[in-house]
Chains A and B, each alone.
Chain A
Amino acid sequence: MENYDVIIGLEIHIQTNTNSKMFCPCSADYFEKSPNTQTCPVCLGLPGALPVPNKKAIEKCILFGLATNSKITDNIRFDRKHYFYPDLPKGYQISQHDNPICYDGYLTVEDEEGNETKVEIERIHQEEDVAKSLHIDNYTLIDYNKSGLALIEIVSKPLIRDAYVAKEYASKIRQIVRYLNISNADMEKGQMRCEPNISLQKKGTWKYDNGKIVPEKGYKLNPKVEIKNIGSISAVEKSIQYEIQRMKDEIENQGELVQQTRGWNSEKNTTEYQRSKETADDYRYFPEPDIPVIELNQEDIEKIKEQLVELPDTKVDRYVNEYKLSKYDAKVITASKNNALFFEKLLSKIDDAKVAANWLTGPIFSYLNKEDIGIDELNIDLDDLATLIKKVENKDILKNKAEELLNKSLDEKIPLKELLEESSGMISDSQELESFAKQVIEENPNAVEDYKNGKTNAISFLIGQLMKLTKGSANPEIAKKLLEELIKKE
């Protein structure tokens, strides 16, 4: 099968987190609301109702375009895309046909070998969501609360060559829309939807021409497959891998490939046939006559640019170059904007990036994982945390002990400050430690003997015992010195 090229394109829909819908002022906060309680003549498609575009929604679409190195149109036009389905009461969706708001962008992602690769974005356009359908036996229930929500569609060029890169690209898009507060992009809630299309073409029989894969002279292209129902980023990769293998098997078994839509089954990890597409879609696009052309000038774009924040790629570079963090740590910390902001705030208080990173990716992340919460839900005073970390750095308190205090503070919701005041700190006083050290020597004659016979690492065991006795509050360096002296004296 080496003589085949894998060709993947990705269509991603993002539900914008605006307050109101795309073309009417109905509430866009539809999740878990009673059905059909947030509608109006516009989003129900009643005759005579006129759509009025939501400025914020278009701003967010442009913002995403700016973040993905896209060009921005200066005349925004909408079109009607016609199809007949109960979730679309007007009989058409207001979308954009040949004049998307943003076009010719790209994102940089890493491939499986860690090399940077560009994924090119063909277009980013603004449209509206359809109603929610609940399919039951032989009928369907429709809730129009979701009808008319602002939706951004991002179409990659069909030039993605493997499932891993497709997954990384989808993941980066999710990260960026979250950084820019365009959408929460929760795939389980349908706020982000990925639809890959895949085909296998014999090498040399195709070329890429102006957004499309076209056959070289005298050849016919293999049909492509579109995958729906993808509920997670990892399913983007898995479903594409599965589909490539399935198509390879079909070709090897001399079976005929059929252009079709398949659904991802996340329980079986397979794709399942949904429908074949024998005829090309006929959406009968025409310009939306109810919405005038919207002129976008440079000033408007500059204003939107102000909403751009430092994006994850730039942050990673800065963390590596400026803070000397490893790329791995930088990526882990910048995976979410909130984590990165937490890190930057902590850093401003303790002034040591490595230390701040270690505390964040160590005890704090493990606490977040354990509790399954986000860092914004963490109940901690950053000044207290900084004090704790400084105490560890100054060897006033042991790291283990400090982590214990941190966890106790988080678990029992006791301010860290109180715990710090309570804990007497480290015992560095030799006289105070002497009685503990004597006890350890008495109780562990074998280890003492070993040490005397030259097994120097036996001292670590004895220090450990002393720590136990003092509940971790002994200064380990003083303890070591003291134990060594006492054993010598014996």
Chain B
Amino acid sequence: MSKKNFDKKDIQNLGELSKIDLTQEEIDKFVKELDTIISSVETLNDFEEETGLEANKRCFEKIEFAELREDTVKEGLSREDALANAPYVEDGYVKIRDKKDD
């Protein structure tokens, strides 16, 4: 994998995609940190060679079409369980505050 150096624009873009407001100081800080993070992650590329173990390649595994799930319905969660983690609920719906600038 080629090394990429992150600049302020990349960080700003990542902030927008993650819906996080970043201050100028934070942007400067992340420019440095992200390069370090990425190079740490890149050590994973050496995983197989160094450990002799095989990485999880599930997404390159193959299954046959006939093995796919049949179209039958199964009961899921009760509404109570489904909404248990929602901070705000109204009439059985999850309630979400709109962002002003949306």
A and B: bona fide binding partners: yes
Chain B proximity mask over A265-279: 1 for CB below 8 Å, otherwise 0: 000000000000000
- Which of A48-56, A329-337, A396-404, A456-464 has 4 or more CB atoms under 8 Å from chain B? A48-56
Flag whether B83 is at the interface (Cβ < 8 A).
Answer: yes
Assuming the contacts A35-B92, A288-B59, asked whether A20 and B98 have C-beta atoms less than 8 A apart, the reply is no
The residues of B that contact A424 with a CB separation of less than 8 Å are none
Flag whether B19 is at the interface (Cβ < 8 A).
Answer: yes
Nearest Cβ distance between residue B46 and chain A, in whole angstroms? 20
In the docked arrangement, what's the CA distance between A293 and B60, Å? 6
A57 lies within 8 A of B71 (CB)? yes
Flag whether B41 is at the interface (Cβ < 8 A).
Answer: no
A138 lies within 8 A of B93 (CB)? no
Flag whether B1 is at the interface (Cβ < 8 A).
Answer: no
A4-63 contacts to B, CB under 8 A, are 18-20, 24-28, 34-41, 43-44, 52-58
B76 lies within 8 A of A26 (CB)? yes
Most central of B19, B58, B93 by chain A CB within 10 Å: B93
A84 lies within 8 A of B90 (CB)? no
In the docked arrangement, what's the CA distance between A55 and B64, Å? 11
Assuming the contacts A39-B76, A40-B76, asked whether A18 and B71 have C-beta atoms less than 8 A apart, the reply is yes
B52-102 contacts to A, CB under 8 A, are 56, 58-66, 68-74, 76-79, 82-83, 90-98
A254-302 contacts to B, CB under 8 A, are 282, 284, 287-297, 300
The residues of B that contact A295 with a CB separation of less than 8 Å are 62-65
B58 lies within 8 A of A289 (CB)? yes
Assuming the contacts A19-B71, A25-B72, A56-B71, asked whether A294 and B65 have C-beta atoms less than 8 A apart, the reply is yes
Assuming the contacts A19-B72, A25-B72, asked whether A41 and B77 have C-beta atoms less than 8 A apart, the reply is yes
Flag whether A140 is at the interface (Cβ < 8 A).
Answer: yes
B17 lies within 8 A of A84 (CB)? yes
Most central of B73, B92, B98 by chain A CB within 10 Å: B73
Flag whether B2 is at the interface (Cβ < 8 A).
Answer: no
A55 lies within 8 A of B69 (CB)? yes
Give the nearest-CB partner of A138 in chain B: B98
Taking a contact as CB atoms closer than 8 A, the residue among B18, B59, B79, B98 that contacts A292 in the complex is B59
Flag whether B5 is at the interface (Cβ < 8 A).
Answer: no
In the docked arrangement, what's the CA distance between A26 and B68, Å? 16
Give the nearest-CB partner of A82 in chain B: B17
Give the nearest-CB partner of B78 in chain A: A37
Flag whether A478 is at the interface (Cβ < 8 A).
Answer: no
Flag whether A134 is at the interface (Cβ < 8 A).
Answer: yes
Give the nearest-CB partner of B74 in chain A: A25
Assuming the contacts A35-B92, A54-B71, A292-B62, asked whether A139 and B13 have C-beta atoms less than 8 A apart, the reply is no
The residues of A that contact B72 with a CB separation of less than 8 Å are 19-20, 25
The residues of B that contact A122 with a CB separation of less than 8 Å are none
B73 lies within 8 A of A142 (CB)? no
A25 lies within 8 A of B69 (CB)? yes
In the docked arrangement, what's the CA distance between A290 and B83, Å? 25
The residues of B that contact A34 with a CB separation of less than 8 Å are 79, 92
Taking a contact as CB atoms closer than 8 A, the residue among B76, B78, B96 that contacts A86 in the complex is B96
A139 lies within 8 A of B18 (CB)? no
B93 lies within 8 A of A36 (CB)? yes
A19 lies within 8 A of B73 (CB)? yes
B18-54 contacts to A, CB under 8 A, are 18-19
The residues of B that contact A36 with a CB separation of less than 8 Å are 79, 82-83, 92-94
Give the nearest-CB partner of A40 in chain B: B76
Flag whether A168 is at the interface (Cβ < 8 A).
Answer: no
In the docked arrangement, what's the CA distance between A56 and B70, Å? 7
Assuming the contacts A20-B71, A39-B82, A294-B68, asked whether A86 and B62 have C-beta atoms less than 8 A apart, the reply is no
A139 lies within 8 A of B94 (CB)? no
Chain B proximity mask over A58-79: 1 for CB below 8 Å, otherwise 0: 1000000000000000011000
Flag whether A144 is at the interface (Cβ < 8 A).
Answer: yes
The residues of B that contact A143 with a CB separation of less than 8 Å are 92-94
In the docked arrangement, what's the CA distance between A403 and B76, Å? 53
The residues of A that contact B63 with a CB separation of less than 8 Å are 292-295
In the docked arrangement, what's the CA distance between A295 and B64, Å? 5
Flag whether A141 is at the interface (Cβ < 8 A).
Answer: yes
The residues of A that contact B69 with a CB separation of less than 8 Å are 20, 25, 52-55
Nearest Cβ distance between residue A253 and chain B, in whole angstroms? 30
Beyond A53-B69, A55-B69, A294-B65: 15 further Cβ-contacts under 8 Å? A25-B74, A36-B79, A36-B92, A37-B78, A37-B82, A39-B76, A54-B69, A55-B66, A56-B71, A58-B68, A139-B97, A141-B90, A287-B59, A292-B58, A294-B62
Task: Provide a sorted-by-A list of 8 A–B residue pairs whose CB atoms are within 8 angstroms.
Answer: A35-B79, A43-B76, A140-B96, A141-B91, A142-B96, A289-B59, A294-B68, A297-B65
Chain A to chain B: the 5 pairs with minimum beta-carbon distance, closest first = A40-B76, A141-B93, A56-B71, A55-B68, A25-B74
